[in-house]
Structure 1
Amino acid sequence: MELKNEDIDKCIKYLKLLSKQYPTINEAATEIINLKAILNLPKGTEHFLSDIHGEYEQFVHVLKNASGVIRRKIDDIFGNRLMQKDKKSLATLIYYPEQKLDMILRQQKNMDDWYRITLYRLIEVCRNVSSKYTRSKVRKALPKEFSYIIEELLHEEPHGVDKQEYYDEIINTIIDIDRAKDFIIAISKLIQRLVVDRLHIIGDIFDRGPGADIIIDKLEEYHSVDIQWGNHDIVWMGAAAGSVVCMANVIRNSARYANLSTIEDGYGINLLPLATFAVEFYGNDPCERFLPKIETEKNYTVKEIHLIAKMHKAISVIQFKLEGEVIKRHPEFKMDHRLLLNDIDFKSGTIQLYGKEYKLNDNSFPTVDKEDPYKLLDEEVELIEKLRSSFVNSEKLNRHVRFLFSHGSLYLKFNSNLLYHGCIPLNDDGSFKEVLIENKKYKGKALLDKLDMLAREGFFYESSLEEKQNAADMIWYLWTGPFSPLFGKEKMTTFERYFIDEGETHYEKKDPYYFYRNNDDICNKILCEFGLEPSESHIINGHVPVKKKDGENPVKAGGKLIVIDGGFSRAYHNKTGIAGYTLIYNSFGLQLVSHEHFESTEKAIEEEKDILSSTVIFEKAVKRKRVGDTDIGRELKGQLHELKLLLLAYRKGLVKESIKK
């Protein structure tokens, strides 16, 4: 771009400020050279994961092995120089250095030789994964206690002889002064960090699996991460904001999957008041329809299972009552048809549903006033307040939800990709659905922007109780509303699944989006709506599991849209036939990795059982992507232009150098 005097004149005040950072021609010129070089480096590797649903062991392993990338790097680097068993051992050491070293220390007799061989191998792997970054970026990632040593070893000339003794002596000294174990741990974690430049989580960290809190603990430590909220995340965010209807849904979901430990142990929330209430009102009710879904490895006594079932039913009925209050407060939600307690004939044990009568499989409602079904008992009001207080005062939950707000959003545009969890609500003809919010209609990007703002208002806004309540109600709508971009269905048939046997009543009609997402024109229209160029952009989507075992393809619309929900949750493994997808976007293009079932961290360490992953390269870049082709590259080009203007201003005498004597 040609620089003109008028460009300098327009921003002379800014250039004088910029000169404080680059006070001389030499410093400005050096930074220009640096930025130009960075723009030509290969783009960093991005990893996309979705619908983790509390499966923390598998998630942590996928993070540690970078979806199989580290093992492939080891294969590429060492080829036939190492046996397969040695490659497996090296990979496991990089994934779990502390635990693997403890095992090796018990087994190995000559540790010095093992340390020496292993250190050289790890340095070779680290040198390879750091080669696409500037020395400055690698330096910032280095562990402080070994930063100088690692930097020296990484920039060893592979075939040089002048400093060979110097490098050998570094390795020998690390071993001699008993620092080899700590050094191996540090360099293994450095490899894990460098192999993924940016992590994207496309929603649904919470529910079903046992360790959502552990997953967010890991994400808080991660060097570069963003999160697009899922419906299972937003309902927890609402609970932390004090929404009692969201809180009831959170507890019900956790009880359904026998996962109350996340609430009690993970977040220190006391559920004893609920257990006491459930025993008092449902003590003689077998609550058979509310028996939790229990995985085989979870050990519960019969007594514990039946207590969870009573708690499950008690909170479900409370949930229906609280949802009724929200629906009545918001006629614009158009959800009056979900006030199902009004449609029950308690005497006959039947319900009128969409013009048809159905027999209830459970007609025991000890806490429901038959004349006023949505009225809360005094005991329920007291219970709800105790639970609400526990949720809003959980320090850890509050911290995690603030992290979700600070690192998350309903959607994200990043490096020409549009990321969102659920859908963009559409009409039957494929046009954007208009949704009425606060007496104004929103659609497309404007709808998601408005809902994103209201979600934040529901958590952070304190000035007006009424406005905070309305925003908190909208968080619940995002969880279950008919036009919610996170839910994407006409209704959530929770009541029907519990109380009616006929499967026809369980059907949840999907938004037309799910019909149109395999249509090139619709995907292009969505990309344009969000300001992206369709010819070079993709939509990355989660939420609805891809049934790979039935032949469903996760790549839609000729590669325009990629669904990366492959069923991380064990509850979905039978449905999908796999145990999750990872999308990898590196400088060479897009790769989709499908994962097989992960047995356990213990077996991964002791038996070196990695996750079996299959990779499909479905879009290869015609020209290798550089930093200059990314969002960061565009920012750097802006900085480059400003620095060139500063350089010209110096040379024209419009800005004075500040040279220290």
Structure 2
Amino acid sequence: MSPIDTAKLENDRRILELLSQTFPNVSAASTEIINLEAILNLPKGTEHFVADLHGEHEAFDHILRNASGNIKRKVSELFGTSMREQELRDLCTLIYYPERKLEYIKAEENDLDDFYAVTLHRLIAVCQSVSSKYTRSKVRKALPKEFSYIIEELLHEAPSDPDKEAYFKRIIETIISTGQADAFVVAICHVIQHLGIDQLHVLGDIFDRGPGAHLIMDTLCGYNHFDIQWGNHDALWMGASAGNDACIANVLRLSLRYCNMATLEDGYGINLVPLATFAMETYGDDPCENFVPNIVDTERTPDKKTLQLLARMHKAISIIQFKLEAALVDRRPEWGMGSRKLLAGLKPEKGLITIDGVDYSLKDCRFPTIDKEKPYALTQEEAGLMAKLHHSFRVSDKLKKHIHCLLSHGCMYGVYNSNLLFHASMPLNADGTLKEVAVGHGRYKGRELMHQVGMTMRAAFNDDTPHDEREFAIDYFWYLWCGPDSPLFDKSKMATFERYFVEETATHKEEKGYYYLLRDNPDVIDHILDAFGVEGEHRHIINGHVPVRINKGEKPIRANGKLLVIDGGFAKAYHHTTGIAGYTLIYHSRGLQLVQHEPFTSTEEAIRNGTDILGATQIVELSAKRMRVRDTDKGDELAGQIQELTELLHAFRLGIVKERSLK
């Protein structure tokens, strides 16, 4: 501050006193200012954006390990002229999967000591490269305790320096001679992986479709720097965990539809025996042809008998779902979803159903649990089954842990370095202005809407939430899944019933909300960005949710580059739709680039043969100059800390705050 504002110092005295607890004297405060100023001039950390992982844990795990191709690029830059292609692939695979790759190498390598010596030198060089944009303090925090000192020494010594060559060489030799080579290789490979991604942004939909959502959540819960903007499938599982029976039924139906029992049974210990028993007893003579699971992974195809059982379970839970949803519609008439109560229009004896006064042909006329007089009433057996399933979801400790992780790292939207992130939609009016939407007793739009939705979702898990508010919050998860004005859905209806039971495909159509119709308009995108207070010369909205059909000419970059849609279809169920297998958007110090992934074969194939997720890289935006930390949100935060520490310095020097000695 110049000149010194003593009145402000006096006014901020209590805050400065608290700050002095950490920096007790001029020397400590000055040292921290120097440190922060230095950090501001480091290159911007690399952000990775992914969306719609849908349980594909092997592919997700691989892109974390290879930093979406960034590690391979570093290795090629360092050794591309001195190593053969196969050697480059083997080194990359070792970095990605050190424990398992070492097993293959040790079984085939004749001179292990030579392999270790060469490989350790190479790994140190890669680690030096990926750590170059971080402070020593940050790198130190990423190091494993058992090798922290040794790795730090190697990272900051050049083996080509004549004065240190023998020192460097002897460290490597001793690592090998003491039998620590394997452990050291594993440790440094994990450091390289860790430093390859500075911040991971997940734009929703971890759950459903693929078999390993629980494994993705295990990875994320142990990950240091990530955030998530909740998707509609995440909200569905959150609702199931909170005890919303309609959400539980939807979760089960989707799992059965895609033959994905692993997440339910292996991941969360959900007991499906009662559902299987009920389905066999109730639908044992029903072929359930329209409910045969959609098999997208031929390696996991069940036998014919199992498929038949799954089809019957699928139909059983679907009918229960429609009944439970009708009860929610009646309990929350303000949602205006009465048109989704369709069971009363069934005329199975005529092979028809009446919807909005029009008769349509039925694909399936077997409804043994529907009473024509009370079509939405659960039978005694259905009610008993749901009680057991409800209990199974509510007592799953693993599911509770993962939902807690979603809550602690997530929200409905995020703003990071001039990028507005949300999973699906922003409710709009026909003219592109923000639409006011009811949530509970209030009406909200834009930023306030997303905030209120997020607070309502959290209220379902807070013990101190008043009873009525908590019951509404639990119910609201289902509206988020399929409600017309839900920012996670934003369509006229979810035509699940029609797709299962109605012949006429016109009834299957789901009219999209105005956001989907107007989002190619740069002015509409700018209006939304303004409403969220997003500033910057290069600002964007980043979405997932709607798969980009590359094979049909669709583009992920829209609205003159202001909107980026990065759902490229990680899930195998979408590969035929998108023509690719997912995107990673990377934002580094040079700009934005989009990595387009090809289908991932398997972890075993990657380890054994050195295969990688190969794909095209598209430059989205290049910066005129290399971005530094000072150009980011983190830079603004650090600049604020420097200002506060500068005030503290003046307060020390003027005697407003007393200095203390460091203990």
Q: If the TM-score is normalised by the length of the shorter chain, which range does it land in?
A: over 0.9
Aligned counterparts of 2:431 and 2:96: Cα–Cα separation in 1: 49
1:161-560 mapped onto 2 (5 Å cutoff): 161-294=162-295, 295-461=297-463, 464-533=466-535, 535-560=537-562
Cα RMSD of the aligned pairs, angstroms, is 1.3
Contact 2:95 2:190 in 1 (8 A): yes
Contact 2:346 2:353 in 1 (8 A): yes
CA contact (8 A) 2:352 2:361 kept: yes
Deviations 1:149-191 (A, max 9, x none): 0000000135311111111000000000110000000000100
Counterpart CA distance in 1 for 2:466 and 2:478 is: 19
Distance of 2:172 and 2:536 partners within structure 1: 52
Deviation at 1:260, TM superposition (A): 1.6
Mark the CA change 1:502 to 1:626 in structure 2 (over 3 Å): closer, same or farther: same
The answer to whether the 8 A contact 2:348-2:362 is kept is no
How high is the TM-score relative to the length of structure 1? 0.98
Contact kept? 1:208, 1:253, Cα under 8 Å: yes
Shift of the alpha carbon at 1:653? 2.4
Distance 2:598 2:356 in 1: 42
**In 1, distance between residues paired with 2:158 and 2:90?**
26
Structure 1 residue 20: deviation in Å?
Answer: 2.3
- Contact kept, 8 Å, 2:80 with 2:88, in 1: the verdict is no
Deviation at 1:353, TM superposition (A): 2.2
Q: Which moved more, 1:501-510 or 1:130-139?
A: 501-510
Equivalent runs, 1:17-32 vs 2, <5 Å: 17-32=18-33
Q: Point out the more displaced range, 293-302 or 584-593.
A: 293-302
- CA distance in 2 between counterparts of 1:87 and 1:660 reads 50
On the 8 A contact 1:524/1:534 being kept in 2, the answer is no
Task: State the distance in 2 between where 1:18 and 1:261 align.
Answer: 50
Determine the C-alpha separation between the residues in 2 that align with 1:247 and 1:461.
21
Cα distance in 2 for residues equivalent to 1:158 and 1:190: 20
State whether residues 491 and 512 of structure 2, in contact with CA within 8 Å, keep that contact through their aligned partners in structure 1.
Answer: yes
Cα pair 1:578 1:595 within 8 Å, conserved = yes
- Structure-1 residue corresponding to 2:112: 111
- The 1-side partners of 2:586 and 2:523 are apart by 25
Equivalent residue for 2:645, pick from 635, 643, 646: 643
Aligned 8 A contact 1:238 1:459 in 2: no
1:556-614, Cα deviation, whole Å (9 max, x unpaired): 11111100000001111111110000000011110000001111111101111111121
Shift of 1:16: 2.1
- 399-408 vs 15-24, which deviates more? 15-24
Q: CA deviation at 1:549?
A: 1.1
| Residues 384-421 of structure 1: CA deviation (Å, up to 9, x unaligned) | 11100000100101100111111111111112211100
Give the distance between the partners of 2:553 and 2:385, measured in 1 at CA. 48
Deviation, 1:355, is 4.1
The CA distance in 2 between the partners of 1:93 and 1:157, in whole Å, is 23
Structure 1 pair 463/649, CA: closer, same or farther in 2 (3 Å)? closer
Task: Return the offset for 1:450.
Answer: 1.1
Preserved CA contact (<8 Å) 1:53 1:569: yes
Please report how far the alpha carbon of residue 345 of structure 1 lies from its aligned counterpart in structure 2 after TM superposition: 2.0
| Amino acid aligned to 1:361 | K
Greater mean deviation of Cα atoms: 6-15 or 309-318:
6-15
Describe the superposition over 1:190-244 as per-residue Cα deviations: whole angstroms up to 9, x where unpaired: 0000010010110000001000000000111111011111101110010000111
For 2:487 and 2:435, the matched residues in 1 are separated by 10
SS of corresponding position for 2:541: strand
Q: Which runs of 5+ in 1 are unaligned?
A: none
Question: Judging changes above 3 Å, is the alpha-carbon distance between structure 1 residues 54 and 75 closer, same or farther for their aligned structure 2 residues?
Answer: same
Deviation at 1:626, TM superposition (A): 1.1
CA distance in 1, matches of 2:508, 2:438: 27
1:493/1:461 CA distance change after superposition, 3 Å: farther
For 1:17 and 1:395, locate their aligned partners in 2 and report how far apart those are by CA, in whole Å.
39
Aligned residues of 1:92 and 1:605 also touching (Cα < 8 A): yes
Match of 2:648, as an amino acid? L
Contact 1:538/1:562 (<8 A) preserved: yes
Which whole-Å CA distance do the structure 2 matches of 1:272 and 1:358 have between them? 35
2:70 matched to which residue of 1? Answer: 69
The structural deviation recorded for 1:463 is 5.2
Bigger CA drift: 441-450 or 478-487?
441-450
Residue 534 of structure 1 and its aligned partner are, at CA, apart by 5.7
Bigger shift: 18-27 or 35-44? 18-27
Amino acid at match of 2:366: S
In 1, Cα distance between equivalents of 2:278 and 2:21: 66
Aligned twin of 1:33 = 34
Provide the rounded CA distance (Å) in 2 between the counterparts of 1:526 and 1:61.
Answer: 34
Q: Is the contact between residue 67 and residue 613 of structure 1 (CA under 8 Å) also seen in structure 2?
A: no
User: d(CA) in 2 for partners of 1:339 and 1:285?
Assistant: 24
- 2:592 corresponds in structure 1 to 590
For the residue of structure 2 that corresponds to 1:612, the secondary structure is: coil
Match of 2:624 in 1: 622
Listed one character per residue, the Cα deviations across residues 282-323 of structure 1 (whole Å, up to 9, x for unaligned) are: 111111110101131113111110000110000000000000
Task: Report Cα offsets for 1:614-648 as digits up to 9, x if no partner.
Answer: 11111011221111122221111111001111111
Partners in 2 of 1:97 and 1:109 — Cα distance? 19
Q: Is the 8 A contact 2:353 2:359 kept in 1?
A: yes
**Paired residues for 1:68-147 under 5 Å:** 68-147=69-148
